[in-house]
Structure formats: structure tokens, C-alpha cells
Chain A
Amino acid sequence: DQQVKQNSPSLSVQEGRISILNCDYTNSMFDYFLWYKKYPAEGPTFLISISSIKDKNEDGRFTVFLNKSAKHLSLHIVPSQPGDSAVYFCAASDNTNAGKSTFGDGTTLTVKP
């Protein structure tokens, strides 16, 4: 049973518009959530995170929203830029589990000029 799900394998948006990437989780023990960005043939890089005690965290063009009751989080990128085109992974962790993260399958974002 997949505990972290990214139901949209791909997303295409126009440059300058908003990109919204979604992630759902099933394990209520998760208390920390992260987004990573990955280019082909490279390792993922950390983008932004949120603790379960918050419902929003913002860093420049990137904002993560957490809805604990729905077990849902989303990453908003505004405005989207062609350089944002990459695979975005959602990950979830809990402090009882040795800092391990469970990853979703990723969403490929394409930003068209």
C-alpha cells in the first residue's frame, strides 16, 4: 500500500502562470513533509518543507500548503519559469522512524515558454 501518492504523473503549464502539484498521504504518523526537485540523471535536491504544526510555508516563488484533515499537501509555484521543468517528488517523514522519508512517484512538470 503506497503511503504517499502523487496522482498526477505529469503537469504542463504556461510560463508565468501558477503550477500546482498535489500529494496525498495515508499515514497519520507523518509529521514532516518535503518537496524535492529532480532533473534527469541527477539526484533530487531539496526544495521546501513543512511541519505538521503549520498549514503553510513560503519560500520565494514556492509555497507548500498542508491540509492535515484531508491528508493532502500541495506545492504552488508562482510564477512558473521554464527552468522549473523537472520531476517533483513529495516525501513524508515521522520522528519515530529514524528520519526516513517515504517518497511519492513524482510529477513531471513542464513549463512552456
Chain B
Amino acid sequence: DGGITQSPKYLFRKEGQNVTLSCEQNLNHDAMYWYRQDPGQGLRLIYYSQIVNDFQKGDIAEGYSVSREKKESFPLTVTSAQKNPTAFYLCASRSGQSYEQYFGPGTRLTVT
């Protein structure tokens, strides 16, 4: 079955710790995206990557970092510099042929 997987579904961390969220896709999509969703708000773009070994900052990249060493994988690291890291994080991918994005199930990160 083709799709996007994110793990884990729930993640708990202490303040001051870096944490990495996993995102894997087997759709053979070139573009991948990371979004953050807060309660009552839409999806805000953190980082995106159009091809392997290349990525760009989105609207709210401060305190986050990414890598794109393989086409299938686009991990997101939430660093201790991120002021309000508790949120629902969504990964998505897109074929170059359309604007439609395919989303993973999300990771809910709680930092205390």
C-alpha cells in the first residue's frame, strides 16, 4: 500500500531536549512538506523540499531543522530553540504532476 507514515503518533519530551519526528513516503513523490497545526488554526508550513538534498524554509521555520538525504524520507527536528513546540505535526508529499498533497497521520508532540 502506498502512503505516508509518521512515527510515533504521540511523543512526549522535556523542555530543552531536541526531538526528531519521522516521515517516510513510498509514493515516489519528489516534494515533501512539514506543517504544524495548533488548536483552531490552519496548517502552517515549517519546511519543504522539492528534491533530494535540497530544502527551503517555510513560514515558521525558526527552531526547526530538516534533512532530505533520501527521496523517501524527510525527518523534522524540533530543537530546544522552538519557543512553543507542543503541537500536532503533519508531513505531506506531492507529485510534480499536481497540486494535491498527501498527508501522513500526524504526530502529536507534547513538551513539558
Which residues of A line the B interface, CB within 8 A?
4, 6, 9, 32, 34, 36, 41-46, 49, 89, 93, 98-101, 103-106
Whether B50 pairs with A32 at a CB distance below 8 angstroms is no
Whether B99 pairs with A93 at a CB distance below 8 angstroms is yes
Q: A43-B90, A49-B99, A99-B94 are in contact. Are A106 and B31 (CB under 8 A)?
A: no
- Give chain B nearest CB distance to A60 CB in angstroms: 17
Whether A49 pairs with B48 at a CB distance below 8 angstroms is no
B interface size (C-beta, 8 A): 29
Which residues of A have CB within 8 Å of B44?
103
Considering the chains assembled together, what is the distance between the CA atoms of A45 and B104 in angstroms? 9
Whether A34 pairs with B106 at a CB distance below 8 angstroms is no
Considering the chains assembled together, what is the distance between the CA atoms of A36 and B102 in angstroms? 10
Q: A98-B31, A103-B42, A106-B42 are in contact. Are A43 and B99 (CB under 8 A)?
A: no
Which residues of B line the A interface, CB within 8 A?
4, 6, 31, 33, 35, 40-45, 48, 50, 56, 58, 88, 90, 92, 94, 96, 99-106, 108
Considering the chains assembled together, what is the distance between the CA atoms of A111 and B58 in angstroms? 35
- Closest 9 CB pairs between A and B? A43-B103, A103-B42, A105-B42, A103-B43, A93-B99, A46-B100, A32-B99, A44-B103, A43-B104
Whether A89 pairs with B42 at a CB distance below 8 angstroms is yes
Whether B42 pairs with A104 at a CB distance below 8 angstroms is yes
Whether B90 pairs with A9 at a CB distance below 8 angstroms is no
Q: A41-B106, A99-B94, A100-B48 are in contact. Are A46 and B56 (CB under 8 A)?
A: no
Considering the chains assembled together, what is the distance between the CA atoms of A27 and B102 in angstroms? 24
Residue of B nearest to A51 (CB): B99
**Chain B CB within 10 A, most for which of A36, A49, A101:** A101
Taking a contact as CB atoms closer than 8 A, the residue among B40, B42, B96, B106 that contacts A43 in the complex is B106
Considering the chains assembled together, what is the distance between the CA atoms of A4 and B45 in angstroms? 14
Residue of A nearest to B59 (CB): A102
- 20 extra interface residue pairs, beta carbon distance < 8 Å, beyond A98-B50, A100-B48, A106-B42: A41-B88, A41-B105, A42-B105, A42-B106, A43-B6, A44-B43, A44-B103, A49-B99, A98-B31, A98-B48, A99-B96, A100-B33, A101-B99, A101-B101, A103-B35, A103-B43, A105-B40, A105-B41, A105-B42, A106-B41
